[in-house]
């Protein structure tokens, strides 16, 4: 089966709710729009899954039937670099998210690792790395098959630079690379300006994690507004004054024969996901017409 880039929204599009759709209807509605991925948002969860197992399983089978790849975004209330009791509570929340992700057959549980706080950067990162090793081991002992997906972050005080995320992926078993391109752009004050800027990131990933991990990365994308501290607000793709430009990423995806899962985090979730998909198709078609005699 040939792998292709998948597109979908971060969370259930508000319009689906207006239409009165239940959770298991969502994959069918996405498919009707031509989309084939969905990130389920578990971002306000505490130490227990806040979905019934039965509903999670229904969502999972509907996703399978409609060829929609599921991921799950875990709780925002995580700090793996904090004090011991904060780390322990964070681990419980990650396990809760991973448990529900496993019920629905999500392939990755995305999450934010935490904050440097008053610690030295190196110390904060080591604390995070050790805590995640424990989470990974506990997930294995519980038989949870979902991969851990620490995400690249967009603010200076957050743990999760590209280098840190690559190291976590190297050091911890059962991880999946998650790159939020808008966050990288915001953290580095608008660094993604040319195709080469995107290409340099793909090359760095390939060098550290190998070709297949680079090709199959899980991505978040939107346009973004930032301050000196980094990320401020996500924006839609049509807003000219913000970056980054998806077409440049599409060029790199085509060039490296990547097949990422692309989750759209713009304020108009599914609408912009379709716009990115259309751009991707245009880029691939233009390459194809160059190859054809």
CB 151 to Zn ion: min, Å: 5
CB 46 to Zn ion: min, Å: 18
Size of the site for Zn ion (CB under 5 A): 1
Buried b (16+ CB within 10 A) or exposed e, 54-69: eebebbbebbeebebb
CB 19 to Zn ion: min, Å: 26
CB 158 to Zn ion: min, Å: 10
Contact (Cβ atoms closer than 8 angstroms) between residue 197 and residue 159: no
User: Smallest Cα–Cα separation from 195: which of 246, 261, 271, 262?
Assistant: 246
Closer of 71 and 136 to Zn ion (Cβ): 71
Binding mask 112-151 for Zn ion (x = CB under 5 A): ---------------------------------------x
Handedness of CA 16, 22, 24, 28 (dihedral sign): negative
Closer of 76 and 123 to Zn ion (Cβ): 76
CB 236 to Zn ion: min, Å: 18
Within residues 64-83, the interface with Zn ion by CB under 5 A covers: none
Closer of 151 and 251 to Zn ion (Cβ): 151
Compute the distance between CA of residue 14 and CA of residue 21 in angstroms, rounded to an integer: 10
Residues 6+ apart with CB under 8 A from 1: none
Compute the distance between CA of residue 12 and CA of residue 214 in angstroms, rounded to an integer: 27
Three-state secondary structure call for residue 3: coil
Tell me which residue has its CB nearest to Zn ion.
151
Binding mask 149-168 for Zn ion (x = CB under 5 A): --x-----------------
Closer of 263 and 276 to Zn ion (Cβ): 263
Q: Residue for token digits 């578990």?
A: 42
CB 255 to Zn ion: min, Å: 26
Q: Residue for token digits 């929340």?
A: 93
Residues that bind Zn ion (CB under 5 A): 151
């Amino acid at each position: 089966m040939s792998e292709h880039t998948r597109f979908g929204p971060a969370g259930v599009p508000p319009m689906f709710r207006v239409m009165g759709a239940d959770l298991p209807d969502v994959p069918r509605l996405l498919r009707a729009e031509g989309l084939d991925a969905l990130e389920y948002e578990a971002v306000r969860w505490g130490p227990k899954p806040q979905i019934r197992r039965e509903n999670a399983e229904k969502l999972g089978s509907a996703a399978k039937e409609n060829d929609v790849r599921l991921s799950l975004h875990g709780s925002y209330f995580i700090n793996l670099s904090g004090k011991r009791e904060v780390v322990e509570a964070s681990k419980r929340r990650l396990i809760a998210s991973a448990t529900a992700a496993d019920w629905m057959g999500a392939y990755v549980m995305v999450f934010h690792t935490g904050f440097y706080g008053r610690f030295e950067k190196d110390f904060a990162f080591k604390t995070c790395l050790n805590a995640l090793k424990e989470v990974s081991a506990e997930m294995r002992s519980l038989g949870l098959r979902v991969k851990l997906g620490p995400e690249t972050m967009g603010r200076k005080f957050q743990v999760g630079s590209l280098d840190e995320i690559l190291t976590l992926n190297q050091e911890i078993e059962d991880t999946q690379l998650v790159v939020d391109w808008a966050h990288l752009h915001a953290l580095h004050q608008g660094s993604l300006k040319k195709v080469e800027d995107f290409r340099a990131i793909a090359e760095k990933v390939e060098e550290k994690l190998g070709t297949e991990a680079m090709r199959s990365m899980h991505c978040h994308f939107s346009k973004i507004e930032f301050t000196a501290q980094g990320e401020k607000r996500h924006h839609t793709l049509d807003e000219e004054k913000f970056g980054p430009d998806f077409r440049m990423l599409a060029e790199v995806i085509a060039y490296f024969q990547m097949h990422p899962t692309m989750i759209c985090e713009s304020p108009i979730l599914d609408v912009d996901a379709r716009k990115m998909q259309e751009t991707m198709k245009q880029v691939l078609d233009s390459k194809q017409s160059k190859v054809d005699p």
